[in-house]
């Protein structure tokens, strides 16, 4: 007797399937995302491999599930190791509970293994976590903390972006404000690596790749801050030149008020200098659990640290 999953056509992701990923995204999350966004996100050619993932179609040829991974480099001591981040995992509501998530995730991890990737890491939500840990054998290594700093009572950024005409006006206004602070670079080096931890190794190629999602680097006093506007002002990482954290955050909060965002958000693994500086001043709550599936060389997972800039949504 055939299993429920046998009725689906499962195939390796290709550039021709990106439109189907967009259609599935809309069906699952009830909002649109552009083809250009997903094409840029999964075109990881700078790593020598691209379009890492699997997509499932029903008997009518409609996309019903997708699982993707994003190859990147991880610095472990003095070595650079090929790793990948588990990214989008989505199943159409009408096709859940049939094993598609487990099947596509397993296929993608095996694809990573075949392409020389030593470990896959991810930041799953609470709904997906049991499947990863209990059924797929991933390890929970850490829990990131999310620092939320209130700025405005009302989220003007979100309200203005909801209307197409006002969205364009807000984007133009925000770009004008950011231009006064921004510097001509696409990202900043990983602050955790500077402290001797292991973490994502950000090269110029990595920064160019990350432009699938609009971000900006600003100068705040003598520091560099990597930012993204998305339901708040998201801090990806900070490169501090001196012990001027309070002055840097004063500038960031000043900018946030001018941008009309409701809050400033930063996420980080515990144990880093930045985490400690935020923890001394701001309220936080546990956010993503950090999970790993080792596919090759075993790594000291407790030495690997992340900031928001390492999460695929940044």
| 185-198: b (≥16 Cβ within 10 Å) or e | ebbbebbbbeeebb
Decide if pLDDT at 133 tops 90: yes
Collapsing DSSP states into helix, strand and coil, what is residue 222? coil
107 and 165, same domain (yes or no): no
Give a yes or no: residue 205 inside a domain: yes
More confident residue, 186 or 169: 186
Stretch 20-39: mean pLDDT, rounded?
96
Q: What is the pLDDT of residues 219-267, one digit of tens each?
A: 998 899 999 999 899 999 999 987 899 999 999 999 999 999 999 999 9
Decide if pLDDT at 1 tops 60: no
149 and 37, same domain (yes or no): no
Domain count along the chain: 2
149 and 89, same domain (yes or no): no
Region label for 78, one of left (φ > 0), alpha (ψ between -120 and 50) or beta (otherwise): alpha
206 and 163, same domain (yes or no): yes
Give a yes or no: residue 139 inside a domain: no
104 and 238, same domain (yes or no): no
Among 99, 117, 135, residue at a domain's last position: 117
Decide if pLDDT at 6 tops 90: no
Q: What is the pLDDT of residue 153?
A: 73
Q: What is the pLDDT of residue 3?
A: 64
Q: What is the pLDDT of residues 76-129, one digit of tens each?
A: 999 999 999 999 999 999 999 999 999 999 999 999 999 999 899 999 999 999
Decide if pLDDT at 272 tops 70: yes
CA neighbours within 13 Å on the CB side: how many for 168?
Answer: 2
State phi, psi for 74 to the nearest 5 degrees: -120, 130
Give a yes or no: residue 55 inside a domain: yes
Give a yes or no: residue 68 inside a domain: yes
206 and 271, same domain (yes or no): yes
The CATH number for 22's domain is: 3.40.630.30
Give a yes or no: residue 123 inside a domain: no
73 and 171, same domain (yes or no): no
Among 76, 102, 117, residue at a domain's last position: 117
208 and 113, same domain (yes or no): no
Give a yes or no: residue 204 inside a domain: yes
Decide if pLDDT at 17 tops 80: yes
Q: What is the pLDDT of residues 34-72, one digit of tens each?
A: 999 999 999 999 999 999 999 999 999 999 999 999 999
Give a yes or no: residue 255 inside a domain: yes
202 and 98, same domain (yes or no): no
303 and 187, same domain (yes or no): yes
Strand residue runs (E) in 223-268: 223-229, 233-239, 263-268
Give a yes or no: residue 223 inside a domain: yes
Tokens of 119: 């470990």
The per-residue DSSP string of 130-196 comes to HIIIIIT--EEEEEEEEEEEE--SS-HHHHHHTSHHHHHHHHHHHHHHHHTTB-S-S----HHHHTT
User: Which domain does 204 fall in, by range?
Assistant: 145-289+296-310
Q: What is the pLDDT of residues 134-156, one digit of tens each?
A: 999 999 999 999 999 999 877 77
Q: What is the dihedral of CA 51, 91, 313, 265, to 10 degrees?
A: -170
216 and 270, same domain (yes or no): yes
166 and 300, same domain (yes or no): yes
């Amino acid at each position: 007797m055939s299993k429920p999953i046998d009725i689906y056509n499962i195939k390796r992701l290709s550039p021709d399937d990106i439109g189907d990923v967009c259609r599935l995204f809309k069906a699952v999350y009830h909002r649109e995302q552009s083809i250009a966004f997903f094409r840029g996100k999964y075109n990881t050619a700078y790593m020598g491999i691209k379009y890492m993932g699997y997509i499932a179609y029903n008997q009518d040829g409609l996309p019903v599930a997708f699982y993707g991974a994003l190859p990147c480099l991880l610095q472990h001591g003095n070595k650079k190791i090929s790793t990948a981040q588990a990214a989008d995992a989505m199943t159409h509501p009408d096709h859940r509970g049939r094993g598609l998530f487990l099947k596509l995730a397993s296929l993608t991890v095996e694809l990573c293994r075949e392409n020389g990737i030593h470990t896959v890491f991810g930041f799953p939500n609470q709904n997906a976590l049991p499947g990863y840990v209990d059924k797929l054998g991933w390890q929970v290594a850490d829990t990131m903390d999310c620092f939320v700093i209130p700025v405005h009572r009302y989220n003007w950024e979100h309200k203005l972006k909801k209307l197409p005409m006002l969205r364009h006006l807000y984007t133009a206004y925000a770009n004008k404000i950011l231009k006064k602070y921004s510097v001509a670079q696409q990202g900043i080096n990983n602050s955790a690596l500077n402290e001797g931890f292991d973490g994502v190794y950000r090269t110029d190629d990595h920064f160019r790749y990350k432009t699938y999602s609009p971000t900006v680097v600003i100068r705040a006093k003598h520091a560099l801050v990597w930012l993204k506007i998305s339901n708040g002002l998201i801090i990806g990482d900070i490169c501090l030149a001196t012990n001027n954290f309070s002055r840097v955050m004063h500038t960031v909060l000043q900018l946030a008020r001018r941008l009309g965002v409701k809050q400033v958000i930063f996420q980080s693994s515990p144990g880093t200098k930045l985490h400690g500086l935020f923890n001394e001043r701001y309220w936080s709550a546990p956010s993503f659990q950090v999970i790993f599936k080792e596919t090759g060389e075993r790594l000291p997972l407790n030495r690997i640290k992340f900031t928001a800039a390492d999460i695929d949504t940044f």
